[in-house]
Structure 1
Amino acid sequence: MLDLVAKEPADGVEIAVEQDTAGLAIAPTPGGEELLVARHGATLPRRPGRETGWLTGPGLGDTTPAMDPQQEHTWPNLERLGSDKRDLADEAMYRSLKSKLFDEAHPPVQLGRFRVVQTLGQGGMGVVYSAQDLQLDRLVAIKVIRDDRLREGARDRARLLREAQMQAKLSHPNVVQIHEVSEAEGGLFIVMELVKGFTLREWLDREARPLAAILERFVEAARGLSAAHQVGIVHRDFKLANALVGEDGRVRIADFGLAVADQRHQETEPDRPAGPASGHTSKYAGTPTYMSPEQVRGRECDARSDQYSFAVALTEAVFRRAPPPAVERLADRTGAPLALPADPPAPQWLRRALTRALSLDPADRFPTMADLIDVLVESPKRRRRRALAAGLVVALTSATALGATLFTASAQTQCSQYKDRLASTWNERKQTLHDAFKATGVPYAEKSWQRASSMLAEYVHDWAEVAANNCQATQPATPTLERLFARGAACLDRQRSAFDTLLDQFAKADAALVADADAAVAGLPPPARCRVSADMRLEGAPVGPTTPRVRELLDRGELLTNIQKGRDAVAVLDDALSESRGTADAAGEAEALLCLGRARGRLLGDGPGATYFLHQAYDRANAADHPSLKWEIWNELAWVQAVVFDAPGEARTSMDHARSEPHPDPRTAEAAIAAVEGEILIAEGRAEEAVERRKFALATLRALYPADHPEVVLARRALAAGLGEARQQQLARELNEQLLADLRRDYEPSHPWPARVELDLGLDLYELEQYPAAREHFERARDTLLAAYGERHPWVAKAEVALARLDVEGGAIPQAIERLDRALATFDDLYPPAHAERINALIILADAHLTSGQTARALTVYRELLAIHEAAPAHSTVDEPGVVANIGDALCTLGRCPEALPYFASLLAHESTASDPALKAAALRGFGLVHLAKGQPELAVAPLQEALRLFEQAPGDRSGIPAMRVATMRELADALTATGRSPEKVRELRRRAAELESAG
Structure 2
Amino acid sequence: MLYLVAEEPADGVEIAVEQDAARLALAGPPGGEELLVALHGATLPRSPGRETRWLTDPALGDTTPAMDPQQEHTWPDLEQLGSDKRDLADEAMYRSLKSKLFDEAYPPVQLGRFRVVQTLGQGGMGVVYAAEDPQLGRQVAIKVIRDDRLREGAKDRARLLREAQMQAKLSHPNVVQIHEVSESDGALFIVMELVKGCNLREWLDRETRPLAAILERFVEAARGLSAAHQKGIVHRDFKLANAMVGEDGRVRIADFGLAVAGQSEQETEPERPPGSAAAGHTSKHAGTPTYMSPEQVRGRDCDARSDQYSFAVALTEAVFRRPPPPAIERLADRTGALTLPTDPPAPQWLRQALTRALSLDPADRFPSMAALIDVLVETPKRRKRRALAAGLVVALAGSTALGATFFAETRPRECSQYEDRIGEIWDGVREESLRAAFVATGAPYAEQSWQRTRGMLDAYAKEWAKVASNACEASRPDSPLSARNLAESEVCLGRQYRSFASLLDEFATADRALVANADEAVAGLSPPLQCIVSSSTPSEDRPAGPTNPRVRELLDRGKLLTLTHEGREAVSFLDYALAEIRSNSDVAGEAEGLLLLGRAKGRLIGDGPGAEENLNEAFNRANAAKYSALKWEIWNELAQVQAVVFDAPREARKYLKHAKSERHPDPRVAEVALAAVESEILIVEARPLDAVALRRQALDTLNSLYPADHREVMLARLSLAAALGEARQLQEAHEMHRQLLADLQREYGREHPLTARVELNFGLDLHELEQTAAAREALEHARAALVNTYGERHLWVAKTEVALAQLDLDDGAITRAIERLDAAMATYEVLVPPTHAERITALIVLAEAHQRNGQTPGALAVYRELLDIHDADPAHSSVDLFTTLANIGDALCVLGQCADALPYFARSIGLKSPDLSSEPAMKALPLRGLGLVALADGEPQLGAMLLQRALTILEHAPLERLGLEAILIATMRELADAYTTLGSKPQRARELRRRAAELESAH
1:247-302 superposed Cα distances (whole Å, 9 cap, x missing partner): xxxxxxxxxxxxxxxxxxxxxxxxxxxxxxxxxxxxxxxxxxxxxxxxxxxxxxxx
- Structure 1 residue aligned with 2:846: 845
C-alpha change, 1:712 and 1:983, in structure 2 (3 Å) is same
- Structure 2 residue aligned with 1:59: none
- 1-side partners of 2:406 and 2:871: how far apart? 63
C-alpha change, 1:473 and 1:911, in structure 2 (3 Å) is farther
Q: How many residues align?
A: 618
Preserved CA contact (<8 Å) 1:577 1:589: yes
- Structure 1 residue aligned with 2:515: 514
1:969 to 948, 968, 972: 972
Superposed, 1:891-902 pairs within 5 Å as 891-902=892-903
- 2-side partners of 1:453 and 1:404: how far apart? 29
**Offset of 1:724 from its aligned partner?**
0.9
1:931 equivalent to 2:967? Answer: no
1:451 equivalent to 2:420? Answer: no
**Offset of 1:963 from its aligned partner?**
1.3
1:966 counterpart SS class: helix
Preserved CA contact (<8 Å) 1:631 1:659: yes
- Structure 1 residue aligned with 2:960: 957
- 1-side partners of 2:784 and 2:406: how far apart? 57
**Offset of 1:859 from its aligned partner?**
0.7
**Offset of 1:409 from its aligned partner?**
9.1
Preserved CA contact (<8 Å) 1:494 1:543: no
- Structure 1 residue aligned with 2:606: 605
Considering Cα pairs closer than 8 Å and 6+ residues apart, tell me whether 1 or 2 has the greater RCO.
Answer: 1
Preserved CA contact (<8 Å) 2:403 2:491: no
- Structure 1 residue aligned with 2:757: 756
C-alpha change, 1:466 and 1:870, in structure 2 (3 Å) is farther
- 2-side partners of 1:388 and 1:655: how far apart? 45
- 2-side partners of 1:985 and 1:914: how far apart? 29
Preserved CA contact (<8 Å) 2:481 2:535: no
- One-letter code of the match for 2:777? E
- 2-side partners of 1:606 and 1:984: how far apart? 57
- One-letter code of the match for 1:705? Y
Preserved CA contact (<8 Å) 2:602 2:641: yes
- 2-side partners of 1:971 and 1:527: how far apart? 74
**Offset of 1:880 from its aligned partner?**
1.3
- One-letter code of the match for 1:884? L
**Offset of 1:582 from its aligned partner?**
1.8
Preserved CA contact (<8 Å) 2:870 2:877: yes
1:958 counterpart SS class: helix
2:943 to 931, 936, 940: 940
**Offset of 1:885 from its aligned partner?**
0.9
Preserved CA contact (<8 Å) 1:466 1:527: yes
- 1-side partners of 2:510 and 2:951: how far apart? 63
C-alpha change, 1:465 and 1:705, in structure 2 (3 Å) is farther
1:984 equivalent to 2:990? Answer: no
1:685 counterpart SS class: coil
C-alpha change, 1:757 and 1:501, in structure 2 (3 Å) is same
Aligned-residue RMSD, C-alpha: 2.6
- 2-side partners of 1:539 and 1:671: how far apart? 21
Preserved CA contact (<8 Å) 1:794 1:826: yes
C-alpha change, 1:466 and 1:534, in structure 2 (3 Å) is farther
1:415 equivalent to 2:408? Answer: no
C-alpha change, 1:501 and 1:753, in structure 2 (3 Å) is same
- 1-side partners of 2:380 and 2:935: how far apart? 73
- 1-side partners of 2:724 and 2:899: how far apart? 46
Preserved CA contact (<8 Å) 1:473 1:534: no
Preserved CA contact (<8 Å) 1:720 1:732: yes
- 2-side partners of 1:851 and 1:778: how far apart? 23
- 2-side partners of 1:833 and 1:395: how far apart? 51
1:957 counterpart SS class: helix
Preserved CA contact (<8 Å) 1:898 1:933: yes
- Structure 1 residue aligned with 2:866: 865
Preserved CA contact (<8 Å) 1:474 1:484: no
**Offset of 1:587 from its aligned partner?**
0.2
- Structure 1 residue aligned with 2:426: 426
Preserved CA contact (<8 Å) 1:474 1:533: no
- 2-side partners of 1:783 and 1:847: how far apart? 26
C-alpha change, 1:655 and 1:472, in structure 2 (3 Å) is farther
- One-letter code of the match for 2:820? R
* Structure 1 unpaired stretches of 5+: 1-382
- 2-side partners of 1:722 and 1:729: how far apart? 10
1:398-446 superposed Cα distances (whole Å, 9 cap, x missing partner): 94586599699978x5432346433331115322222212222233222
1:677 counterpart SS class: helix
1:716 equivalent to 2:711? Answer: no
- 2-side partners of 1:652 and 1:922: how far apart? 34
Preserved CA contact (<8 Å) 2:837 2:878: yes
- Structure 1 residue aligned with 2:563: 562
- One-letter code of the match for 1:938? Q
Superposed, 1:144-159 pairs within 5 Å as none
C-alpha change, 1:419 and 1:594, in structure 2 (3 Å) is farther
- 1-side partners of 2:593 and 2:982: how far apart? 70
- One-letter code of the match for 1:972? L
- One-letter code of the match for 2:958? P
- Structure 2 residue aligned with 1:643: 644
- Structure 2 residue aligned with 1:729: 730
* Structure 2 unpaired stretches of 5+: 1-378
2:923 to 920, 924, 948: 920
C-alpha change, 1:410 and 1:519, in structure 2 (3 Å) is closer
Preserved CA contact (<8 Å) 2:406 2:490: no
Preserved CA contact (<8 Å) 1:407 1:477: no
Preserved CA contact (<8 Å) 1:469 1:532: no
1:363-382 superposed Cα distances (whole Å, 9 cap, x missing partner): xxxxxxxxxxxxxxxxxxxx
C-alpha change, 1:966 and 1:719, in structure 2 (3 Å) is same
Preserved CA contact (<8 Å) 1:481 1:534: yes
- Structure 2 residue aligned with 1:282: none
- One-letter code of the match for 1:740? L
- 2-side partners of 1:408 and 1:437: how far apart? 34
C-alpha change, 1:477 and 1:933, in structure 2 (3 Å) is farther
Length-normalised TM-score, structure 2? 0.59
**Offset of 1:636 from its aligned partner?**
0.9
**Offset of 1:531 from its aligned partner?**
2.6
C-alpha change, 1:859 and 1:690, in structure 2 (3 Å) is same
**Offset of 1:695 from its aligned partner?**
1.4
Superposed, 1:188-203 pairs within 5 Å as none
C-alpha change, 1:503 and 1:737, in structure 2 (3 Å) is same
Preserved CA contact (<8 Å) 1:436 1:506: yes
- One-letter code of the match for 1:987? R
- 2-side partners of 1:539 and 1:388: how far apart? 34
- 1-side partners of 2:540 and 2:810: how far apart? 62
Preserved CA contact (<8 Å) 2:403 2:488: no
- 2-side partners of 1:435 and 1:996: how far apart? 65
- One-letter code of the match for 1:811? G
C-alpha change, 1:402 and 1:492, in structure 2 (3 Å) is closer
Length-normalised TM-score, structure 1? 0.59
2:959 counterpart SS class: coil
**Offset of 1:386 from its aligned partner?**
9.0
- One-letter code of the match for 2:761? D
- Structure 1 residue aligned with 2:632: 631
- 2-side partners of 1:964 and 1:993: how far apart? 10
1:426 counterpart SS class: coil
- Structure 2 residue aligned with 1:996: 999
- 2-side partners of 1:615 and 1:466: how far apart? 35
C-alpha change, 1:472 and 1:649, in structure 2 (3 Å) is farther
Preserved CA contact (<8 Å) 1:638 1:651: yes
- Structure 2 residue aligned with 1:196: none
- 2-side partners of 1:661 and 1:994: how far apart? 64
Report % sequence identity.
58
- 2-side partners of 1:434 and 1:472: how far apart? 35
- Structure 1 residue aligned with 2:907: 906
C-alpha change, 1:855 and 1:409, in structure 2 (3 Å) is closer
